[in-house]
Amino acid sequence: MKFVTRKHLPRRTVLRGLGASVALPFLDAMTPALSAQSTAPVRMVFVYVPNGVIMRHWTPKQQGASFDLPRVLEPLKPFQQDLFVLTGLAHRTGEGPAGDHARAGGTYLTGVGPKRTTSADVEVGISVDQVAAQALGSRTRLPSLELGCEATRMVGSCDAGYSCAYVNSLSWRSATSPNPPETNPRSVFERLYGSLDPDPDPAVQARLNANRKSVLDFIQDRTAELTRSLGAADKRKLDEYLSAIRDIEKRLGKAESRAAAPSMEKPGGVPFAFVEHVRLMNDLLLLALEADLTRVATVMYAKEGSTRSYPELGFSDPHHPLTHHRNNEEWIEKVTQINRHHASQFAYLIERMKSIREGDHTLLDRSMVVYGSSISDGNVHTHHNLPVVMLGRGDGSLKPGRHLVFGEKPMTNLYLTMLDRMGVPVEKLGDSNGKLDHLSGL
């Protein structure tokens, strides 16, 4: 590999080695290569939490630019000037007599009520992430990235005669084709940087893990050659990026060594602790976005209807049953703690996005990140007045730092607005009836 000058380093520079390829983050040396572009890449990310939230601890009392973040959203306070709280959005297509969790999952990014079936003839609608991926995916290695933190299955009935596909997948590349999330961090890592062990026999997986080399070992000569051509700031950024890759490899190795114990059932690479798992997935997502391996992603911290428990909070009650609290204040308190716990993991992702520089901006500045649920009140399964926050500035096209309250509007109106900011204008998505006003300012 030969680099001409530090002023003409292509944005698509990749360090390649046997079985591995490492795309680079944005460096100052790439600025001339980007100067002909009218805008920098904008990223679109959707992070989902299930079973609704305690809305009185989510919704700010004040509107506009001067508002206090309630208890559940307090972990996002350092980023208050980077976020919108959007009140009044709805998924009315998720309403029905039964199967609210399946309809919530199926509707969230599509705005289409799913077909009630437990067979292979699932049908809902193309999701907003896939509209963007189909338009922009040829510009990146991965058109989109789908991540999850809870084991899923795509067949059978999971909720009142609705297929498990609706509960377990937010992303739909067509009305009948779900994109199930990848829950194994090792599999995600190898999608990003290449598999060093092609299709290994499960019987020897533990030995391969023990002897596995770092992807960085395969590109060390190319890395040294590149580093010699970079300025001090770019050298520091490249070192931080490669160190993050090395750190993730070490964490994956620890997870795999624990998963090798005979009494454990999870596949290798999947941590048992929720926080460890979600942090790994957040960090993998960051690497993918920073290196422009993809510009579109979905993350499910847990599947809809999840019964996961969170013993790190001091109690072991499963999430979903707690949300049917029947106004029991003790149960409401536990749900609130779970809601805030999820928000804390999301705050970690946002903190890291805000710390990554891309020229004069940050990765967060050049992103739109939506966080929330497709159910508001989990006790009665309401699909209106949804919990929604969005962070980022869409590369300057958005003016956050505000709590906006809309007379009820379809959630898909937000998605039309986001697609427009991505340079993918569409007239209709699901039940949309227009775009949202005021996101660019009053």
Q: Is residue 283 part of a domain?
A: no
- d(Cα 340, Cα 324) in Å, to the nearest integer? 18
Q: Is residue 211 part of a domain?
A: yes
Check residue 260 and give its pLDDT.
47
SS3 244: helix
Least confident of 20-24, 210-214, 386-390, 398-402: 210-214
Share of the chain above pLDDT 70, in %: 89
| CB 335 within 8 Å of CB 56 | no
Q: Is residue 55 part of a domain?
A: yes
Q: Indicate the pLDDT class of residue 9, thresholds 50, 70 and 90.
A: confident
Residues 131 and 30 in one domain: no
Is the pLDDT confidence value at 264 over 60? no
How many structural domains compose the chain?
A: 2
| CB 181 within 8 Å of CB 148 | yes
Residues 423 and 342 in one domain: yes
Q: Is residue 287 part of a domain?
A: no
**Model pLDDT for residues 37-67, shown as the tens digit of each residue:** 445 799 999 999 999 999 999 999 999 999 9
Q: Is residue 2 part of a domain?
A: yes
Is the pLDDT confidence value at 263 over 90? no
Is the pLDDT confidence value at 262 over 80? no
- DSSP secondary structure letter of residue 61: S
Residues 134 and 34 in one domain: no
Residues 171 and 53 in one domain: yes
- Residue range of the domain that includes 216: 1-38+187-269
Residues 23 and 97 in one domain: no
Residues 114 and 92 in one domain: yes
Mean per-residue pLDDT over the chain, rounded: 90
Residues 332 and 397 in one domain: yes
Residues 127 and 56 in one domain: yes
End of a domain among 234, 254, 269? Answer: 269
**Model pLDDT for residues 78-120, shown as the tens digit of each residue:** 999 999 999 999 999 999 988 999 999 999 999 999 999 999 9
Q: Is residue 274 part of a domain?
A: no
| CB 294 within 8 Å of CB 145 | yes
Q: Is residue 380 part of a domain?
A: yes
CATH number at residue 87: 3.40.720
- d(Cα 273, Cα 117) in Å, to the nearest integer? 33
Q: Is residue 261 part of a domain?
A: yes
Tokens of 94: 């998720």
Residues 108 and 2 in one domain: no
- d(Cα 363, Cα 354) in Å, to the nearest integer? 6
Residues 82 and 215 in one domain: no
For residue 73, the one-letter residue type is: L
End of a domain among 251, 269, 287? Answer: 269
Is the pLDDT confidence value at 167 over 80? yes
**Model pLDDT for residues 371-396, shown as the tens digit of each residue:** 999 999 999 999 999 999 999 999 99
Check residue 1 and give its pLDDT.
39
Residues 156 and 194 in one domain: no
End of a domain among 269, 304, 329? Answer: 269
For residue 222, the one-letter residue type is: R
Using alpha carbons, list the distances in angstroms from residue 355 to 259, 283, 286, 364, 400.
32, 13, 11, 8, 18
Residues 325 and 340 in one domain: yes
Residues 123-132 have a mean pLDDT of: 98
Residues facing 45 on adjacent strands: 297, 369
- d(Cα 437, Cα 301) in Å, to the nearest integer? 29
